[in-house]
Amino acid sequence: MTSMIDRTVVDFVKVLRTAELAVSPAETLDAMRALNIVGYEDREFLKNSLSIVLSKTPDEKEAFETCFESFFSFDKFSSAEAQEQQPGHPENDGKFDPASEQQEGGGKPGGQGMGQGGGSGEEASDDEGGLEPTSSLGKLLLARDSNAIMIAIVEAGWEVQVNEIVVFTQKGLYARKIMDAMGLPDLQNEIGALQNEGSNARTNLAGKLTKARDRLRDKVRDYVEKQFFLHADESGKQLREELLKKVKLSNLEKRNFKDVQEIVFKMAKKLIAVHSKRRKQFRRGHLDIRKTLRHNMQYDGMFFDLHWKSKKIDRPKVMCICDVSGSVSNYSRFLLMFLYSLAEVLPKARSFAFSSDLGEVTRLFAQSDLEEAMARTMRDYGNGSTDYGQMLLDFKNNCMDDVDKKTTIIILGDARNNYGDTQSEILKEMYDKAKRVIWLNPEPKMSWTVGDAEMNKYAPCCHQTEVCNSLMHLERVVSNLLRSST
């Protein structure tokens, strides 16, 4: 019993984790101890006890209660069974009902057995003489013990690892696995043998077992469906997120924007957790003589406390210039969205947008919510005819004095200049003054020199040029930016 309780707690913790509750191994052990102390007779007391151990904030309390009600809901199964066993229930056609079974046996006046004519006295006697199923599953089903059936379903679910279900189309597969684990093959063989023997009593028993099997199959499917929503709802979401990270942003449909926005915020939150603190990078083997001498003066010059050279990893100063013309508006939307969510980790980030004339949208991002900021940026600067030369002239006139050796400039665009003046010498000046100039081009490299694309002129004036047309590319570029900044 103890191992079953521990297994139940572990499975429940997995459900909480898929609901994004951070439950540690220590808290899991505490939950097991709490369950051993309070028991499971009082459901409300159990819920309150586990809530104290496994949830902390009000949001986590709410998520915990939802998960608890879904996970520990076997009483609903039992009450449904009890209802269906009541005489006169619309679906009670003899299944698990002793009174109906007597009628089906053919031994009562007017009774008929499973489509057969009225049975003979010998057959009625045979039926009343205690003809019972021989398979273990058949015995369980005709015993009419709903709790025992539910326990058997749960144990079979553990055996086939139903908590690993990922997509809804696996529902039928896991239902069949659970049925097989409960002994379906033996039950099927028994039903076939009873039907082949031909007597009314055995045919009646085969019919009862068939109905009981079909009822069980419905219950198992319901159980698997519930397990899907408990265990795989978040897993399925994670799978969808992984696919959306890899797909080209230009192929995303409008209905995916909300999902993509959630992914972007999660990526930003992850990067914030990794890179928000200022760190030191130690140069192993390079002794810092001044710090070593200073800290060892108390030891009369004996080197007991060695100090190695290091450099501070500081948060970067970033200027991001986004082409929001019609040809790349889908891509620039997601980069602006990403920078909007990175405000906490990139406090020195400045954002610019252009089709031809360049405009700064940093303050707009700071004072507006995301959707309003996106809409106004696209309205004021988007969908025009692209002119990179004019953009570079505007940057030189308004922003060049703010560029120094701590500045990283990121340009997102396809470099298609409509055959205008490229002003590449201004980009070369930016290259000389800035720490890094990074150009992210959403087009594949084979298109960088086709038609009016000018990447062959801009690329030599950049420290780094990358294809960036998916969220995965974007995450990698920004993560590298944060990791390598000094």
Q: What are the structure tokens assigned to 308, written together?
A: 């190695």
Q: What are the structure tokens assigned to 105, written together?
A: 């046996």
CATH of 317-484, one of 3.40.630.30, 3.10.20.30, 3.40.50.410, 3.40.50.300: 3.40.50.410
Average pLDDT, stretch 228-236? Answer: 64
Query: Which of these ranges, 38-52, 172-186, 285-299, has the smallest mean pLDDT?
Result: 285-299
Q: For residue 316, what pLDDT is reported?
A: 66
Q: For residue 232, what pLDDT is reported?
A: 60
Q: For residue 388, what pLDDT is reported?
A: 94
pLDDT digits (tens, 9 = 90+) for 110-132: 333 333 333 333 333 344 346 88
Average pLDDT, stretch 160-188? Answer: 87
Domain boundaries, the chain: 2-71, 74-243, 280-313, 317-484
What confidence tier does 343 reach under pLDDT thresholds 50, 70, 90?
A: low
Between residues 347 and 291, the one the model is more confident about: 291
pTM exceeding the 0.85 threshold for the entire prediction = no
Query: Which of these ranges, 163-167, 371-375, 424-428, 450-454, has the smallest mean pLDDT?
Result: 163-167
Reply yes or no on whether the pLDDT at 134 is more than 50: yes
Query: Which of these ranges, 102-116, 422-436, 470-484, has the smallest mean pLDDT?
Result: 102-116
Scanning 170-283, the segments in alpha helix (DSSP H) are: 171-182, 184-197, 200-227, 233-246, 257-275
Reply yes or no on whether the pLDDT at 247 is more than 90: no
C-beta of residue 46 within 8 angstroms of C-beta of residue 35? yes
What confidence tier does 97 reach under pLDDT thresholds 50, 70, 90?
A: very low
From first CA to last CA, the distance across the chain in angstroms is: 57
Average pLDDT, stretch 413-429? Answer: 92
Q: For residue 401, what pLDDT is reported?
A: 93
What is the residue whose two structure tokens read 């000389």?
432
| CA separation, residue 92 to residues 4, 138, 250 (Å) | 34, 19, 56
Reply yes or no on whether the pLDDT at 282 is more than 70: no
**Closest residue by Cα to residue 484 from 404, 402, 408:** 408
Q: For residue 234, what pLDDT is reported?
A: 57
| CA separation, residue 118 to residues 114, 200, 209 (Å) | 10, 9, 20
Strands 308-313 and 279-287: what pairing? antiparallel
Between residues 255 and 199, the one the model is more confident about: 199
What is the residue whose two structure tokens read 């942003």?
249
C-beta of residue 23 within 8 angstroms of C-beta of residue 56? no
Structural Rg of the chain based on CA atoms: 35
298 Cβ neighbours under 8 A, 6+ residues apart: none
Encoded amino acid at 100, one letter: S
What is the residue whose two structure tokens read 């399925």?
236
Q: For residue 112, what pLDDT is reported?
A: 33
Q: For residue 33, what pLDDT is reported?
A: 87
CA pseudo-torsion sign 424, 427, 429, 431: negative
Q: For residue 421, what pLDDT is reported?
A: 92
What confidence tier does 102 reach under pLDDT thresholds 50, 70, 90?
A: very low
